[in-house]
Amino acid sequence: MRQKTKLAREDIFRNLPVPAALRVMIVPAVTSQLIVLIYNMADTFYVGQTNNPYMVAGTSLILPVFNITLCLAGLAGIGGGALISRLLGEEREDEARRVGTFALYLGVVIAALFSGGMAAFMGQVLGLLGAGENTYQYARQYALCVIVAGGIPTVLSNVLSNLLRSIGRSREAGIGIILGGLLNIALDPLFMFVLMPDGLEVLGAGVATCLSNCIACLFFLVVILKMGRGAVITFSPRVGLAQRRSILAVFAVGMPSAIATFLFDLDYVVIDKLMVSYHDLALAAIGIVLKVERSPLNVGIGICQGMMPLVAYNYAAGNKQRMEDIIRLARRLGMGIAGASVVLYELLAPQFTRLFIPDIQTVEMASQFLRIRVLATPLMFLSFFTVYLFQAFGKGRISLFLGVTRWLGFNIPMLFLLNALFGMYGIVWAQAAADTLTVALSFFMYYKYKPKF
């Protein structure tokens, strides 16, 4: 069984034509990313059916904090997954197994600490996010379910998904995430409008999300157990502790990934805080837009997730031509999708925003915001595509530099600057302005520091 699994993995990483290998790895990753997006939007969609903009605003406030749980998963999952693929490319399977076990337990520990911290400092966090008297109770209900109660299964599911993808098991990685998403979509209306009384719709959405993530986590645990003792990914501590340099390598890539994701969420927090200074309808409108715009971005992330193990493996194996072919095709695919999304959103912005709330004023404002924000989509894809490449190469310092510069050097200062100069719509334009600078820097860094074979 172990030999058969190894041969199947090597067939994907080494032998399949590049388009076929990318298809095997990318399709499940993109599908799972879209389902994640849909189930994240499902909460907003169903809450929007109450026609209560304060409920919509309350759940939107928690989105950046919920995304921090995903950045914690990235620390262990992306850091561990990128290293595992490189170790397999070097034919060091035993060390890859030890790294996988370390990454799993690391994910559980950091998730538990984050959930406990959120429970202890709930009031302070919600105040920092800008929750007011109209939105506080809804934000608190949602946070208790999806972060305090659901933090560990959410993080562990995403860690396991990344680790499975790193060994070529993209199909199982995608199925688990898809399962959780579909359950969330199905359970939301049941808990919100059937089981919960009027006024507790947000609590119902939170319970549905938490339960869905728990079931998805259980699916991944079953997959790991079925893979047996000889599998690269295992919970067994008997495989031993990873080498010190391997642990450092996990953090060298995982920490930049987590920090970049955290700064991405901090950018959302800043947007919310600046929008609060105008009015709650503006906050509800930008909350809807920040979810709608994620469709092409999540597809792009799925492309990068599927690409990264292939790039890491072939980089470590010294197969320069195959690595460059993979990078080139993945980049073209991502840019094509980003360009198509710009056209689609420009034409159908009101129809997309009306899916989430029927309030005419909110729809009109959200449509205007969306048409501006979507212009940054190709730039955003190129920005994080380059970061994923450096993660695949194990060059954590460069990916950290790009991530920190993008958010702290360009995006967040641009929000304050354009808000001061142009008001509310300056906030909306900030993404396109900042990512123009980010892409220029990313191209320079890639051509200067790309691997030399």
Q: DSSP characters for 224-255?
A: HHHH-TTSSS---GGG-PPPHHHHHHHHHHHH
Residue 357 in this model has a pLDDT that exceeds 80: no
Question: Which residue in the block uniquely carries the two structure tokens 């031509």?
Answer: 321
The phi and psi torsions of 217 (rounded to 5 degrees) equal -60, -40
User: Which residue type, as a one-letter code, is found at position 259?
Assistant: I
Q: Which residue has the higher pLDDT, 387 or 40?
A: 387
Residue scoring higher pLDDT (287 or 200): 200
Please, where are the H alpha helices in 49-92? 53-89
Closest CA to 118 of 154, 94, 93: 154
Q: Quote the distance between the C-alpha of residue 438 and its chain's center.
A: 19
Q: What is the largest CA-CA distance in the chain?
A: 64
Q: Give the residue-averaged pLDDT of 88-114.
A: 90
Q: Which of 59, 50, 41 is nearest to 272 (CA)?
A: 59
Q: In this prediction, what percent of the chain has a pLDDT beyond 90?
A: 36
> What pLDDT shows up at residue 273?
81
Report, in angstroms and rounded to the nearest whole number, the Rg of the chain calculated over CA atoms. 21
Confidence of residue 40 (pLDDT cuts 50, 70, 90): low
HSE value, Cβ hemisphere, 13 Å, CA-based, for 276: 20
pTM: 0.80
List, for residues 233-243, the tens digit of each pLDDT value.
Answer: 888 888 888 88
Residue 27 pLDDT more than 70? Answer: yes
pLDDT tens per residue across span 419-441? 999 988 999 999 999 999 999 99
Length of the chain in terms of residues written: 453
* Confidence check: pLDDT of 153 > 50: yes
The residue ranking higher by pLDDT, 340 or 56, is: 340
Query: For 270, phi and psi rounded to 5 degrees?
Result: -60, -40
Please give the Cα distance from 96 to 83 (Å, whole number).
8
Residue 164, pLDDT score: 92
The distance from CA 75 to its chain's CA centroid, rounded to whole angstroms, is 12
For residue 66, count CB atoms less than 10 angstroms from its CB and return exposed for 0-12, middle for 13-18, buried for 19 or more.
buried
pLDDT score recorded for residue 1: 47
State yes or no: pLDDT of 217 exceeds 70: yes
Cα 94 vs. chain centroid, distance in angstroms?
Answer: 29
For 442, the 3-state DSSP assignment is helix
Report whether pLDDT(7) > 50.
Answer: no
Angle between helices 396-404 and 244-276 (to 10 degrees): 10
Going by C-alpha positions, the residue among 35, 116, 128, 42 that lies closest to residue 72 is: 116
Whether the predicted pLDDT of 51 surpasses 80: no
- Closest C-alpha among 427, 320, 311, 446 to residue 383: 446
- Residue 352 tokens read as 């997309």
Residues 6+ apart with CB under 8 A from 65: 118, 125, 129, 143, 147, 265
Q: Is the pLDDT of residue 219 over 90?
A: yes
> Sign (positive/negative) of CA torsion 429, 430, 434, 439?
negative
The answer to whether 302 and 29 are in contact (CB under 8 A) is: yes
Predicted pLDDT at 453 = 66
Is 60 exceeded by the pLDDT of residue 296? yes
CB contact at 8 A, 288 and 357: yes
The candidate with the shortest Cα–Cα distance to 257, out of 111, 77, 445, is: 77
Q: How far is CA 9 from CA 14, 165, 309, 330, in A?
A: 8, 10, 11, 20
Stretch 125-132: mean pLDDT, rounded?
A: 81
How far are the Cα atoms of 151, 211, 313 from residue 119, in angstroms, in the given order? Answer: 11, 18, 40
The residue-averaged pLDDT of 161-183 equals 89
Q: Which residue has the tokens 């404002």?
A: 365
pLDDT (mean) for 97-102: 92
What are the residue ranges of helices labelled H in 355-423?
360-373, 377-392, 396-404, 412-422
pLDDT value at 5 more than 60: no
User: What rounded mean pLDDT belongs to the chain?
Assistant: 87
For residue 411, is pLDDT > 60? yes
pLDDT band per the 50, 70, 90 thresholds, residue 64: confident
How far apart are alpha carbons 118 and 96 in whole angstroms?
33
Angle at 247 between CA 242 and CA 249, to 5 degrees: 130
Q: Are 39 and 184 in contact (CB under 8 A)?
A: yes
Cα 86 to chain centroid, rounded: 22
Evaluated on CA atoms 257, 261, 262, 267, the torsion sign reads: positive
Instruction: State in Å, rounded, how far the first CA of the chain is from the last one.
Output: 34
Under the banding of pLDDT at 50, 70 and 90, the label for residue 9 is: low
Percent helix, strand and coil across the chain, each to the nearest 5: 85, 0, 15
